Amino acid sequence: MGAGAAAATSASAAGTVIACFGKAAYVHFPGGIVALTRPSVPLGPLHVSSTFDFAQLTAGDRFVVPDHWRHDPEIWRGELPDANAVEPQLWTTVARRSALLSEPLFHRWEAAARETDLAAVCRLLGGLGPGFTPSGDDALAGILLAARIRRPDTEERLVALADHVDTHEIARAFLVWAARGQSIAPVHRLLAGDTTAAADLLAFGHTSGADLALGLWHGLTSPGRA
């Protein structure tokens, strides 16, 4: 399980199911959001890879954490490279497929890309676009992760910005962990120079992987924001 899932489930033994899909179910705990995912879903900070039968769950159900999740769980945490070791060109092929590069979202993306104030970028991209995780949120997760890589000392401010983004609570939870330097596994593999991760990232969600890649590429190659 991811670091965020471990923190949430260690703090409380029960939560409430808030959304169910084919490959994931989301549970709200007092300490955060947890995503119960199929083994085919990439690891991530909120994820618990499980063979649990999601057909048994519906929104509003009480979910009790299995004992073995709370006692010495195997915690996954994505490694971060030194900012100078990142190769931004590895992200371009995936980033080109982002929904933000086409109408009707392009003008908002263009405005965000020109913006030098990260708080303003959050306002422009937060909740932007259709989908369970809107394209704007996915790109913003990449931007926040890039900011955390470039300036680890700004993590507290990045988390505070992420925590106030105007979007739904599941997307916001992923943004908070991106601000802490944690994303899905293919992102960390590509950051480490594993070019085979590009295909896995591109396959993530409808355009989520590409949107995230666009934000990360932009965040890594743009001048620092205030």
| Mean pLDDT calculated for residue range 24-38 | 93
What is the pLDDT at residue 88?
84
- Under the banding of pLDDT at 50, 70 and 90, the label for residue 75 is very high
Report the distance separating Cα 48 and Cα 162, nearest Å: 22
Judged against a pLDDT cut of 80, whether residue 225 lies above it is answered with no
What is the pLDDT at residue 189?
93
Mean pLDDT taken over the chain: 91
Domain range 3-70, its CATH number among 2.60.40, 2.30.30, 2.40.50, 3.40.50: 2.40.50
Q: Which is higher by pLDDT, 123 or 24?
A: 123
First to last CA, the chain: 33
pTM of the model: 0.92
Task: Specify the 3-state DSSP secondary structure of 32.
Answer: strand
- Under the banding of pLDDT at 50, 70 and 90, the label for residue 137 is very high
Judged against a pLDDT cut of 80, whether residue 105 lies above it is answered with yes
What is the pLDDT at residue 32?
94
| Mean pLDDT calculated for residue range 69-80 | 86
Which two three-digit tokens encode residue 30? 């007092």
Judged against a pLDDT cut of 90, whether residue 122 lies above it is answered with yes
Residue 65's alpha-carbon distances to 2, 36, 81, 88, 155, in angstroms, are 15, 11, 33, 40, 30
What is the pLDDT at residue 27?
94
List, in order, residues 6 or more apart from 38 with CB less than 8 Å away: 23, 24, 49, 50, 51
Q: In what order do the strands lie in the sheet with 32-37?
A: 47-49, 32-37, 24-29, 14-20, 62-64
Q: What pairing do the DSSP bridges indicate for beta strands 62-64 and 47-49?
A: unpaired
Top-ranked range on mean pLDDT: pick from 30-39, 137-146, 193-202: 137-146
So where are the chain's domains?
A: 3-70, 83-221
Give yes or no for a contact between 167 and 127, defined as CB atoms under 8 angstroms apart.
yes
Report the distance separating Cα 154 and Cα 9, nearest Å: 27
Give yes or no for a contact between 215 and 139, defined as CB atoms under 8 angstroms apart.
yes
Q: What is the pLDDT of residues 175-201, one digit of tens each?
A: 999 999 999 999 999 999 998 999 999
Which two three-digit tokens encode residue 107? 């003008």
- Closest C-alpha among 147, 104, 100 to residue 125: 100
**Buried b / exposed e along 34-67 (16+ C-beta atoms within 10 A):** bbbbeeebbbbbbbbbbeeebeebeeeeebebee
Judged against a pLDDT cut of 80, whether residue 157 lies above it is answered with yes
Q: Which residue has the tokens 């010495």?
A: 72
Give yes or no for a contact between 136 and 108, defined as CB atoms under 8 angstroms apart.
yes
